[in-house]
Structure 1
């Protein structure tokens, strides 16, 4: 096999019609390990996710212990360790608005899929951003279990 010439990422490349080395992915390709998510960041998308997505995890003590740690790392800075919306960013005055208390009936009565959707896509209002890049899908479901089971009773 003949060795091929290596090109720097942003250099020109005579092998492609557009002359660029960096080529966009082929339409329809999915990065390895990525899971397509079909629900948009809209009220309708959130309701649809709530109706169609079911938590694949059973609530176990092990999952809840893992979820507590994940929650404290990713959620507590805004929502507070007890989920009352009194995290460090809120109490320091560095957050521009109130944070939804996760212990309130407004959240506790939502289907698991809606809570998963908000963690995945962010809130429709835009105050909470997407956490899909930071938190793996199984861990997002663990957080849903934690919100519904531990924050409700603790």
Structure 2
């Protein structure tokens, strides 16, 4: 007879203590979630840090796509840059754009809006600044890569796209430049 009241008591103790083992999840704690802003006025991913200093020879503080489109590529399209751009392209761009850059990647094939064909005349006519801005700010389907690729790495990717994918030159592996 004592077992039933003991069982009820043991069952109710966590309720009183508010300590059900499943009531507190580590994912639901006071913290900032991925791609969540700490500033409610500016939701989304973090912009460039306040008072940040751009790397000499590059322009990194750009407000919008109109400003980005006017930029010129400060990185010469030499073998090292093209090879490093190829490495970054394979990591970040091929899932959607594919190895050929035609928008035929495995992830891109599943999207309703297809990724840009980087070898198309329409893309060839765009300025390097436009492509850099698109990687920086994102677009209709494309996310921003400003937090994943440094300012210089985005320019290296553009050099690879221009020299290898659009002009058909071969990208030779070289030692990657220092960030």
TM-score by length of 1: 0.69
Indicate whether 1:49 and 2:68 are aligned: yes
List aligned pairs for 1:60-99, cutoff 5 A. Answer: 60-91=78-109, 94-99=110-115
* Structure 2: gaps of 5 or more residues: 1-29, 31-38, 40-48, 169-179
Alignment of 1:140 with 2:154, yes or no, is: yes
Report the structure number with the largest CA radius of gyration: 2
Q: Which residue of 1 aligns with 2:63?
A: 39
Alignment partner, residue 109 of structure 1? 125
Q: Deviations over 1:36-91 (max 9, x none)?
A: 63332xxxxx343222x111111110111111010000001000011011001123
State the number of aligned residues: 119
Secondary structure of 2:100's match? coil
Alignment partners' CA distance in 1, 2:94 and 2:156: 15
TM-score if structure 2 supplies the norm length? 0.60
Q: CA deviation at 1:97?
A: 1.8
Partner Cα distance (2:136, 2:117) in 1: 18
The runs of at least 4 aligned residues of structure 1 exceeding 4 Å deviation read 31-36
Is 1:30 the equivalent of 2:26?
no
Distance 1:50 1:86 in 2: 26
> Considering only aligned residues, what root-mean-square deviation do their CA atoms show, in Å?
2.4
Cα separation, partners in 2 of 1:89 and 1:38, compared to 1, 3 Å: same
